[in-house]
Structure 1
């Protein structure tokens, strides 16, 4: 069994929820290709390539990452994230603006979403909760479930060719994520209609895309290692606001 996970400083405000999410574990069952034989062909290719035979079927992951996020200009960040498909996520990060640290978290736990960011951990920069934040966070959880490919039995799969759809139930909501899979089973990208208000537009569902630039294998599970994400609103701007490299993954 994995060791208990310490709470990052940026997530101490929700330490109880962090610890609760950290207690999500797999049952100990191990992966065999026959478990994926009823999936659509492209999803089957992805799973049997992403998960080595006899690897424990993890239900959650702790990720370490670094990258850039657009906060006006592009800012460097480091982050620790817990993801448990169908349950929740907490993304705890620190970025720097004008040399000063902004730290905080985005989360979806116990059926609700929240964003809370503080300058130096003390001065409020941004806080948001409510239905719109929750709906957006639920979509994010569904999209980021690709980072725990061993959780594939929790989704409902459809599709043919190189494109498949995974529908996740998140706190009673259904969120559908579309995956583009190469002929060799590599995950090339993800898209979905996610709730949000990109570029200050009214809240609604807008196209959200993730491009996978490279992969890396951790403990028998291959996941995106470098990725880019953003909104596609059809405007002049690309909508890209997130670039990340995953440096470590602890599957649980």
Structure 2
């Protein structure tokens, strides 16, 4: 051999028959169980190998790998490739977004990666793949990991939903580019003359207002200003498109309802 490491060149070699290797080097052959995380499938591949140092002589699937080794490989896979490998689901993802808005560091990505053994490992016990975690399990695990105090802080600062004057409930999107955003029919806000806010700094919710058919009609961070400004033109258009619904001149004084005028007795 000439050279070192990657630049080495083999100038002369002699082929060894496998039987000779077994006969003369049997005492140096090891039986090794390997657990490797495969990113594409997000699962652990377990194999039994017979090795002579770094040389693999034979390999076959391991039907009963060590459970701790499998778990360690899954956790290392998440450490190496990030939390995006997990199937978060809408509820768990929304909880992380709310925690970020509320400034609760217990559920930020860096801290979750540092503490995988505490919240993720229990969900992976006995499993071979990240995709085997049940629906909703990640959400429940995050709630338990965050603890009661942190969850109360999230509920106070970043509520999951906005309840309209009409009694309808709407999810708040804390990941929206414009800021915390809620989409709802404009009629659900009749009677409200103060813009809703969230967070310690009382950040105005971005209201994405829709027609009775769910079509967007206006986005605002100033509901009182909208009522007394462009509402007149919006209401005129809505009366032509949806004559069965109530479009008052002073919506801040009206009763919130998604029902038609007939059902409201108007």
TM-score between both structures, scaled by the size of structure 1: 0.22
Q: Which has the higher strand share?
A: 1
Compare CA radii of gyration and give the structure with the larger one.
2
TM-score between both structures, scaled by the size of structure 2: 0.21
**Structure with bigger RCO (C-alpha 8 Å, 6+ apart):** 1
